Amino acid sequence: MDEKMSLQDWIELANKENINFGDFCIAYQAKDLEISKEELLERMEAILKVMEESIQIGLSGVKSMGGLVGGNGKLLENYQREHADQSVVGSVMSRAIMIALAVGEANASMGRIVAAPTAGASGTLPALLFSLAEARGFGMPELAKALVVAGAIGMVIASRATLSGAAGGCQAECGSAGAMAAGAAVELYGGSPNQVGQAVAMALKNMLGLVCDPVAGLVEVPCVKRNAGAVAQAMVAAEMAMAGIESVIPVDEVIDAMAAVGSAMSCTLKETAQGGLAVSPTGLAWSEKIFATKK
Q: pLDDT tens for residues 49-98?
A: 999 999 999 999 999 999 999 999 999 999 999 998 999 999 999 999 99
Q: What stretch of H or E contains 3? A: none
Residue 1 confidence (pLDDT): 41
Residue 251 confidence (pLDDT): 98
Percentage of the chain with pLDDT > 70?
Answer: 98
Backbone region of residue 192 per phi and psi (left: phi > 0; alpha: psi in -120 to 50; beta: other values): beta
Task: Give dist(CA 124, CA 23) in Å, integer.
Answer: 23
Confidence of residue 35 (pLDDT cuts 50, 70, 90): very high
- Residue 215's identity, in one-letter code, is V
Residue 84 confidence (pLDDT): 87
Domain parsing of the chain, residue ranges: 7-294
Residues 6+ apart with CB under 8 A from 187: 20, 21, 22, 145, 146, 149, 196
DSSP bridge partners of 212: 270
Task: Give dist(CA 143, CA 135) in Å, integer.
Answer: 13
Per-residue pLDDT for 44 more than 80? yes
Helix (H, G, I), strand (E, B) or coil at 94: helix
Average pLDDT, the chain: 97
Residue 3 confidence (pLDDT): 84
Residue 294 confidence (pLDDT): 59
pLDDT in tens, 231-247: 999 999 999 999 999 99
Residues 6+ apart with CB under 8 A from 90: none
CA 188 distance to own-chain centroid:
16
pLDDT in tens, 86-144: 999 999 999 999 999 999 999 999 999 999 999 999 999 999 999 999 999 999 999 99
Q: Which CATH class is domain 7-294?
A: mainly alpha
pLDDT in tens, 150-205: 999 999 999 999 999 999 999 999 999 999 999 999 999 999 999 999 999 999 99
